[in-house]
Structure 1
Amino acid sequence: MSTSTNAMADTPGILYVTMHPEAGLPEEQFHDWYNNEHGPTRLRLPFCANGFRYRASDLEGGEGEEAKPEWMAIYDITDMAELTRETYLRLRGPPAKTPREADTMAKIKVDRKLYDFLGSQESKEFTRLEMVGNEGRENVMVAVLLAPNPGEVMSEAIEKWYAEEHIEMLSKVPGWLRTRTYKTSSVDPSAPFEYLSLHEYAPGNGLGGPEFQAATSTPRAIEIMSEVVNDKRRRVYNLYYTFGAAPRHLAPKLSNWASTDPSSPILTKTFSTSSTGASAGAIESYITTPDGVTIPYRLEGSQDPSAPLIILCNSILTAYGIWDGFLRSFFSNPKNQKYRVLRYLKRGRSSACGSTPITVDVLASDIIALLDTLRVKKAAAIIGVSLGGAITLNAALKYPNRVERFISCDTSSKSPAGNSKVWSERIALAEKEAVMTSSGESIVGQELAEITTRRWFVQESYDDVDLAKTIEDVTQMVARNSLEGFRHSVRALFEYDLKVEMKTGAVPGMFVVGGGDGVLPGTMKEMANAYGKAGARYEVLEGAGHLPMVERPGEFARVVSAFIDA
């Protein structure tokens, strides 16, 4: 087992942390802070490859204590030197470290250790737990810490024993998956020197069985423990939670909290209650796509981490507030409290939409990035309207293994002829009005917003006092959209064509359209008939135009509920 490294090469390793919460720290606060603040903040660092929380299974009476903590967390680090640099160190003090984190950590006994990687061996059954497809997979971790007696020869004896005998014998234990070995990191020279080995097993394993006894009772193993090792500690844990690079922990007692890091592109917020009637509060935060674009999102719904997830995809120029009325109706049905709902702002809502040309393929890939970051293997449903409807359809066609069902609303399977000319004229109209925010950002402005929403909604909706107010809210959403973001994102509408792909569509789908949305009722009926081998469901909502979830939220909730529960 080689420990040599090139002086200029990265030194991979692990951050190993044990925690014992004091009796006065509410369990809800501990998990909320850890899962929604502390962990995701670390996972957003480019050198933090993954992060896992484990819970001890070797406690007498099931209660942890300071000498034997109940909780352990590990983070694979691509270069341990990064933990000595400002990018990481700034997280450990204000303003990045929030008052909530300081208050919570003051009530936890923390033992934090850094180790450099030595080697790894794994079975053919091993699979990396950070892969989204493994979310929910159970894992048993045995952590063994060995402090050698003084002298280089003692350290060499331990390393040779692992490499020449011990790991090979452990690999014969039923359920063994992987063993990794580490030594105290060179970036922490004041720490007492020791070895850490992490042995991973499937839940059904042979720990304590004859193969395990054989591996730990050889003459060489006995000699190592009696003559070479000065101190040994062994702990057994079960996987409790896998961090992602964005918060997703919903619970009935979430804090009303906001992050305080001024360098964050979006301040993460958690809410104890949901304005739409979901049962377990809400989270507002962001993901970063593979090409570096920030996608803000709002997550609400069931506290069950494995709850089926519905994703809502907005029309161009709107924010996710267009779904408020629908969600209030949707969650008012007790049967729908089992769902989680994710809303997000597409590329183009702000000017920070990246340098990648925006197409329906790129926008569909953003949905997959959301699923990956929030560690969701498969969306229960994706629902989109207008451009969002095309994105939804495209995601189901391009990623059928990630989408259970889709609902595409008020859209076309192909860019209408002359679309680029029409939208270019609308861009010119906004440029002519030249509205800017107080911060100096150019936005779409009122003139285009009024013209656009007049096309979207039927006249009867303007005659309804409550709906008229909602329409005004949507109008202001359009007016506040970044002009630069609009210029880039509208290009997705210029040239797309999903007609051929639709013929082989396999994901169950439904096409929904407002009865007053011009020619689209006929167009979408043709789309439904042309989808897949047997067609798709088709629903017309009378009394609605281009955004039926806004004008007929109750009726829209009814058809959605009937379809996703079918």
Structure 2
Amino acid sequence: MAPTPGILYVTMQPRPSLAPARFHDWYNNEHGPARLRLPFVANGFRYRATDLAPRGVAASPADPEWMAVYDVADMAALATEPYARLRGPPAKSARETDVMRDIDVERMLFDLVDADEAAGGQPFARLEDVRNEGQGNAVAAVLLAARPGWESALDRWYRDEHVPAVAGAPGFRRVRRFASSAAGEPAAGNKTLLLHDFAPATSYAALKAATVDALPDAVEAGGARLRTYGLHYTFGPCPRDLGPLGAPSTAPWTSPDGLTRTLAPSPAAAPDAAVSGAIESYVTTPDGVRLPYRLSGAPAPDAPTVLFVNSVLTTYAIWDGFLAAFLAAGRPDRARYRFLRYDARGRTRETGPGGGDVTLATLAADAVALLDALRVRRAAALVGVSLGGATALAAALARPDRVAALVACDTNARAPAANPRLWAERVAVAEGEGAEEEKEDEDEEPVVCESLAEMTVQRWFVPGSFDGGAREREARRVKRMVASNSLAGFKRGVRALYDYDLEAALPTCKVKAGFVVGAGDGALPEKMREMAAKVPGAKLKVVEDAGHLPMVERPAEVAAFVAEVLADAGVGG
């Protein structure tokens, strides 16, 4: 049977007992993203009423202030288990149950009848496309209750009169006609919904004139009702709204599956979360791999976002010290950024379909997938170290439309010929210890363990970092990251370092570029001088008394350099 496309159309009126920040936190960071993660939900939008003041009425259950609409590829999917499980425990959280007690909700399902989506010969710009993030939209929704024998009159009027007339109205973008869906509740009755999209500046009076003022008696007698709305928020598959987290009415929250949590700001919070809190969740890549991420920084949804890519064998916590230095007291201008960090493929055993090897092209595509899922139209910068530096470079070269600046730390533009042998030897060390390691649980996943972890930090850090003080504590923290890395993930993920070559593309780089290298990182300082010389306008920073992870050993120096590159790209503080 052919799929039946349609929409889930919901109006909501929060009661006075529900604080606005708590309402928005639940809606934007829990409810909406959970639905956008379903493969049959194409998009989701929240709208706010624009007709209350012009009509001289207050928001109420009869005239709700909020509307949400989701395009559904096949309405029959709303009766399947993946969707049904979201509407009850355990997937439905206790918070959702509590919040929804304080909201008057009307939920309607409609099948798509037809659509005119080519205003003035131009196709409708899909608002779910991340390239259109930040664009506004006005909606005029006309709900018509059915009357016996009216279908033919309605159809003639809609096709022959309404569509041609509304298509000529100023600001018109598209109109769609829907009918009550068989997937809906029988008590909802048989209704027709006309959804008109207009340019965001279109006034209530203009929307009313274009949509209902000319309704013929045969249609108006059906009980036509007009509501108008302005676009408030576009859902994505990942929570990203930091704005409500700082309000007294919101509280830290963890999803029932433990994979998502929101953190409230506090003086004791990590520096990147001290003002607006943080969100920790995951992105699912197009090939089905889950990548954990942490979003923090400025609460504004359109704040410039810096994306960080960690090295092999580490987590996104590798950037903790860097962010503390970047946001150090005396530099409030740097608080305007958002910071997006994630664990790249190879941290866990989940590396791809069938457990396949990872390539640099895959990792670069993952970086863009993060931007898509978090609805970042163009990152202020990609900042990466080691394999993460090569990833950032590859992504910036391939997609300069998605990146304003690039900072690559301690990396190569071409895989050294010795890499396959050297990394195979390191894998063998980890496998040897893993085979000897006793597991308390036979299902426990093998990890890299102690021997390779110690070898790695001795290679990555300069001798001066083993000072018995703060620098050594950082080195030991990195060692724990290495030791706890999935062995299977390491074996597959490290293959991205075996064979890649970006050298020929360096002169074509179209974004502002900076290269950072620790002076004590073997032959890399000279290699990175050569790289920087090939990239037009690139800057180079050699960090003294630092090895392979200069942003860990000398975070303040690297933070200052990244700020310079951001300023050069026009996205500085």
TM superposition score normalised by structure 2: 0.93
> 1:420–1:190: structure 2 CA closer, same or farther, 3 Å change rule?
same
Which moved further from structure 2: 190-199 or 40-49?
Answer: 190-199
Equivalent position of 2:134 in the other structure: 136
Distance 1:553 1:215 in 2: 59
3-state SS of the aligned residue for 2:327? Answer: helix
- Residue pair 2:419, 2:498 contacting (<8 A) in 1 also: yes
Shift of 1:224: 2.1
Distance 1:359 1:437 in 2: 34
Equivalent position of 1:301 in the other structure: 297
Equivalent position of 2:48 in the other structure: 55
Equivalent position of 1:311 in the other structure: 307
1:184 lines up with 2:177 in the alignment: no
Equivalent position of 1:164 in the other structure: 160
3-state SS of the aligned residue for 1:170? Answer: helix
- Residue pair 1:170, 1:212 contacting (<8 A) in 2 also: no
Distance 1:331 1:413 in 2: 30
Of 233, 240, 247, 2:239 maps to 247
Shift of 1:506: 1.5
3-state SS of the aligned residue for 2:216? Answer: helix
Shift of 1:437: 7.3
Equivalent position of 2:571 in the other structure: none
Equivalent position of 2:6 in the other structure: 13
Equivalent position of 1:498 in the other structure: 502
Distance 1:163 1:398 in 2: 45
Q: Which string of whole-angstrom CA distances, capped at 9 and with x for unpartnered residues, describes residues 196-219 of structure 1?
A: 11000002447645x97477555x
Equivalent position of 1:290 in the other structure: 286
Distance 2:22 2:404 in 1: 34
Of 555, 558, 561, 1:559 maps to 561
Structure 2 residue identity aligned to 1:203: P
Of 425, 429, 449, 1:445 maps to 449
Identity percentage over the alignment?
A: 49
Equivalent position of 1:358 in the other structure: 358
Distance 1:95 1:275 in 2: 31
Equivalent position of 2:229 in the other structure: 237
1:377 lines up with 2:383 in the alignment: no
Distance 2:366 2:295 in 1: 16
Shift of 1:565: 1.8
Which moved further from structure 2: 193-202 or 120-129?
Answer: 120-129
> 1:539–1:118: structure 2 CA closer, same or farther, 3 Å change rule?
same
- Residue pair 1:25, 1:107 contacting (<8 A) in 2 also: yes
Distance 1:180 1:320 in 2: 44
Q: How does 1:90-109 map to 2 (within 5 A)?
A: 90-109=85-104
Equivalent position of 1:73 in the other structure: 68
Shift of 1:464: 4.4
- Residue pair 1:216, 1:222 contacting (<8 A) in 2 also: no
Structure 1 residue identity aligned to 2:364: A
> 1:369–1:260: structure 2 CA closer, same or farther, 3 Å change rule?
same
TM superposition score normalised by structure 1: 0.94
Distance 2:158 2:461 in 1: 71
Distance 1:103 1:74 in 2: 22
Distance 1:432 1:75 in 2: 52
Distance 2:218 2:457 in 1: 77
Shift of 1:413: 0.8
Of 271, 276, 286, 2:271 maps to 276
3-state SS of the aligned residue for 1:342? Answer: strand
Structure 2: stretches of 5+ with no match in the other structure: 569-573
Distance 1:247 1:196 in 2: 30
Shift of 1:148: 2.2
Distance 2:264 2:488 in 1: 35
Structure 1 residue identity aligned to 2:413: S
> 1:13–1:437: structure 2 CA closer, same or farther, 3 Å change rule?
farther
Of 343, 346, 351, 1:345 maps to 343
3-state SS of the aligned residue for 1:245? Answer: coil
1:476 lines up with 2:480 in the alignment: yes
Structure 1: stretches of 5+ with no match in the other structure: 1-7
- Residue pair 1:115, 1:183 contacting (<8 A) in 2 also: yes
Shift of 1:232: 1.8
Structure 2 residue identity aligned to 1:556: V
Shift of 1:302: 0.4
Shift of 1:225: 3.2
1:414 lines up with 2:414 in the alignment: yes
- Residue pair 1:133, 1:377 contacting (<8 A) in 2 also: yes
Of 541, 544, 547, 1:545 maps to 547
Distance 1:542 1:118 in 2: 67
Shift of 1:536: 1.0
1:196 lines up with 2:196 in the alignment: no
